[in-house]
Structure 1
Amino acid sequence: MTDQPVCLTLIVPRQLRDEVLDYLTEQSDLVSGFTASHGAGHGADVRLQTAAERVKGHADQTAVQMILAESDANGLLDRLRVSFAGTKLVYWTMPVTEFGTID
């Protein structure tokens, strides 16, 4: 069995953004880099934390994506479950069929 690459996506609430990004940077044994972008969370399970979010009708969030070996993604998720227990971080993984750099 091979350790296929996956794209791990984390959806991080605004108030946890800096803490999670710092945490990911510290996990250099598993994470070589990531991309973070602004997101707007919609849906019945999305918690609107501030008056501004309630007026806008969406939660300010950060979407963080990284390409990892599947075993590293699982290891990182295990660490996140311990370090961010109770925060309701949303995540998913998707298989990556190709990954590289255009030089």
Structure 2
Amino acid sequence: MNRHYDCVLTVALPARLEDDFIDLALAHPEWVDGFSLAHQEGFGSGASLVSPMERVRGRARRAVLTVLMESQHVELLLQELRTAFPTPEILWWTMPVTAFGRFA
């Protein structure tokens, strides 16, 4: 698909929700053409330590998805995600894309 990516949507969520979250994102190819996934650890007052391992280590296992998107689709995707995952444990933010391309 030839899209004009003008926005990056980043979503940080508990690792336990990763598979369901990915399935929902992939169910909307009209908005999401693909994304990157990284595994990270969350620290601080917003990090919900659920498992015994997380409580001992003092940090939460997180999945972070980075999605290049058309900004007109961001709110549509966010509404779907909010409906499916009504939890304050999921954080999101957007940033503008000023340039995008491929080397070949």
TM-score (norm 2): 0.90
CA RMSD between the two structures = 1.5
Question: What is the TM-score normalised by the length of structure 1?
Answer: 0.90
Deviation track 1:9-66 (CA, whole Å, cap 9, x = no partner) reads 0001011011001111111110000000101111111100111111111100100001
- How does 1:7-18 map onto structure 2 within 5 Å? 7-18=8-19
Q: Which residue of 2 aligns with 1:75?
A: 76
- 8 Å CA contact 2:48–2:89 kept in 1: the answer is no
Superposed counterparts of 1:59-98, under 5 Å? 59-86=60-87, 88-98=89-99
The Cα of 1:88 is off from its aligned counterpart by 3.1
Partner residue in 1 for 2:24: 23
Distance 1:48 1:11, change over 3 A: same
Find the residue that maps to 2:11 and give its secondary structure. Answer: strand
SS at match of 2:103: coil
| Structure 2: unaligned runs, 5 residues or longer | none
Which runs of structure 1 show a deviation greater than 3 angstroms over 4 or more consecutive aligned residues? none
Aligned with 2:44: secondary structure? coil
Match of 1:47 in 2: 48
Q: Which runs of 5+ in 1 are unaligned?
A: none
Alignment length (residue pairs): 101
Q: Specify the SS of the correspondent of 1:12.
A: strand
Q: Distance in 2 between matches of 1:71 and 1:38?
A: 27
